[in-house]
Amino acid sequence: LWFRKHEPHIFTFLAVCLVIACVHAAHHIALAEAGFARVMTFVSCQLTIYLVFLSLLTLEYRLSSRHPLARFPGPAMAKVSKWYMAYHVLVGTRHAILQRLHAQFGPWVRIGPNELSINDADAVKPIYLNLPRAASYKAVPARDQTLIMIVDRQQHTQRRKPWTRAFSSKMLAKYAVAASNRARQLAAILQGRSLIDLNHWLALCLMDIIGDLGFSGGIEALAAGEDRADWMNMLNLGALVVGVLGQVPWLTDFVLLFPQNGPLETFHKFARDKVESARAKALSEDANILSIILNDNVNASSQSSLSTGEAAADASLLMASSIETTSQALTTLFRYVLTDDSILGRLRAEIAAAFPDGDEDINVTYRDAHKTVFLNACIQEALRIMPPAPAGLPRSSGAHGVTIIGEFIPPETTVHVPTFTLQRTAANFAEPDRFIPTRWLPSERNSTPHNELAYIPFGAGFGACVGRQLALQNIRILAIHLLSKLDIKLSTGLSLNNFDASHKDRGLWTHDKFLVDVEKRL
Ligand code: HEM
């Protein structure tokens, strides 16, 4: 009963077990009942019995009708332990299992002892506008807090302000020039190459873009033709670790006991170096995203209120949140666009009409978005069919519980809307597994239902993606440059069925190589 109300910290729990064991041992030794070895065996047996009994009671309670979430259906394994979902994150099947569970049990599924997945577009607003982030956000194994880890609403709002300013329309226009230059560089590198992994090259290009915008350069992954410090693998591994620890946050403190070396150490050093140079920059023409974040946090004594650790954590977040998400969106876009001649033809015609003066004219900013309406629809559809952040974003029902679309959710319950499943549900979007960009063009839409409340690739509410406009701008810039300059064809070795089937939700998507052959367009 006590543990139900007061979730113990893992180290406190272990310390309590140790104290109980020591007291028992001391007691038996004092009574001189037996030798030391026998006392130890006896105490170990008692502890084991205690832990087994505690576990059995917990299992019984979680499955019983006395549990506050007993009325919600779900698989028994999920009801008894968070390890059920941790396992699915680890093997990359979370998106598929959630889809299957909702098909089997309906919109409300209990996917953890104290967790509900709600596949209903009407739940988006009540959850994401009002509820605080769940404890899973504290599972990031970092010593300093980044923006995305902050659970306290007031603190989060304060820390988010400079981020919003870093993505103002004035700054976006400046970023567009730098991104266009990188897109030109990528197009020049790719032409004439065959059997290349387009997803990999897009990620290299996005590394350089975020290096330029965030830290005034210094990565040069495109020129090297590789990710020299192996950061992409590290970021993917990081997403997996956070995905698993998000299910079992109490393990985070254990993970933090291990030394952080290899690429992680290089990455931390990179972030700290960038913080030092960003501190030197005033809010000038020369400002980059990191310097804005630092300088906007200046307190009365003209010192940034962010510690170097916190600023470095935000620098890492900048990389972690922008590279794989945006490259995945582009890969999905190319996967569908390159395999449909009518879509590809229409896109090229639209781009040629929007930018008649060719290359030099293509410094696409968000202001040009109205010129490429069909491309925008294709991007929206790519983000619907394969949202780069596929998992539901967990929120907490708080200390008093909450009512969501007529259902009372007991206190301290984690709730989320499963993004991938929601966007692939036929009740929200007609033929949800087909890529139909015209569904986003009201004048051409010939399919219902079309429920835009069920479209949340960037999340929703106070914690929604702060880099959304930058992401969309970068996707547009890269798509426009590559489609207008290059003739990209799927390599003969690529099986689309296998490629699609290889997608695994491990926090971010992982999948097989997206192999293409590239020629210059005549
Ligand atoms: C297609 C690309 C992208 C997608 C699909 C995406 C998706 C998301 C989602 C779903 C969230 C909400 C997380 C949550 O509530 O737990 C988020 C948050 C965030 N994203 Fe993005 N993102 C993208 C690109 C970017 C870019 C380019 C940046 C910055 C350069 C960025 C920076 C952030 C930050 C800082 C947060 C945390 C916001 C907060 O805690 O207030 N994202 N993103």
Could you write out the DSSP letters of every residue in 51-73? HHHHHHHHHHHHHSTTSTTTTS-
8 A C-beta contact, residue 332 and residue 423? no
- Residue pLDDT, tens place only, 333-357: 999 999 999 999 999 999 999 888 7
**Rounded distance between C-alpha atoms, residue 85 and residue 479, angstroms:** 36
pLDDT of res. 364: 65
The alpha carbon of 196 is separated from its chain's Cα centroid by a whole number of angstroms, namely: 26
- Ligand 1 atom index nearest CA of 325: 2
- 455 CA from centroid of ligand 1 (Å): 15
The alpha carbon of 226 is separated from its chain's Cα centroid by a whole number of angstroms, namely: 23
Give me Rg for the CA atoms of the chain: 26
- The CA distances from residue 197 to 175, 227, 229, 371, 487, in Å, are 26, 13, 19, 30, 15
Residue nearest atom 18 in ligand 1 by C-alpha distance: 465
**Rounded distance between C-alpha atoms, residue 402 and residue 267, angstroms:** 41
- 463 CA from centroid of ligand 1 (Å): 8
Pocket residues: Cβ below 6 A from ligand 1: 147-148, 160, 163, 317-318, 321-322, 325-326, 329, 388-389, 393, 457-459, 463-467, 470-471
pLDDT of res. 488: 97
Task: Provide the 10 A C-beta neighbour count for residue 268.
Answer: 19
pLDDT of res. 76: 97
Reference 205, options 478, 494, 503, 438; nearest CA is 478
pLDDT of res. 450: 96
- Ligand 1 atom index nearest CA of 474: 27
pLDDT of res. 481: 93
**Which residue stretches of the chain have pLDDT < 70?**
1, 3-7, 32-34, 262-263, 280-286, 296-304, 358-367
pTM: 0.92
- Residue pLDDT, tens place only, 234-262: 888 888 888 888 888 888 887 777 777 76
- Ligand 1 atom index nearest CA of 457: 5
Task: Provide the 10 A C-beta neighbour count for residue 46.
Answer: 14
Which of 208, 235, 321, 419 for mutating ligand 1's site (highest number of atoms within 8 Å of CB)?
A: 321
Q: What are phi and psi of 280, to 5 degrees?
A: -75, -20
**Rounded distance between C-alpha atoms, residue 222 and residue 201, angstroms:** 8
Helix or strand or coil: residue 129?
A: coil
pLDDT of res. 493: 85
The alpha carbon of 20 is separated from its chain's Cα centroid by a whole number of angstroms, namely: 41
- 293 CA from centroid of ligand 1 (Å): 16
pLDDT of res. 421: 98
- Ligand 1 atom index nearest CA of 394: 16
Residue nearest atom 35 in ligand 1 by C-alpha distance: 466
pLDDT of res. 285: 56
pLDDT of res. 192: 95
Amino acid at 453: L
Which of 146, 331, 465 for mutating ligand 1's site (highest number of atoms within 8 Å of CB)?
A: 465
**Rounded distance between C-alpha atoms, residue 221 and residue 204, angstroms:** 5
Is the predicted ipTM greater than 0.95, yes or no?
yes
pLDDT of res. 405: 95
Reference 214, options 265, 178, 260, 267; nearest CA is 178
8 A C-beta contact, residue 364 and residue 476? yes
What does the block give as tokens for 276?
């030092």
Q: What are phi and psi of 47, to 5 degrees?
A: -65, -45
Helix or strand or coil: residue 135?
A: helix
Buried-exposed string 224-233: b where 16+ CB fall within 10 A, e elsewhere: eeebebebbe
Place of tokens 């799927």: 490
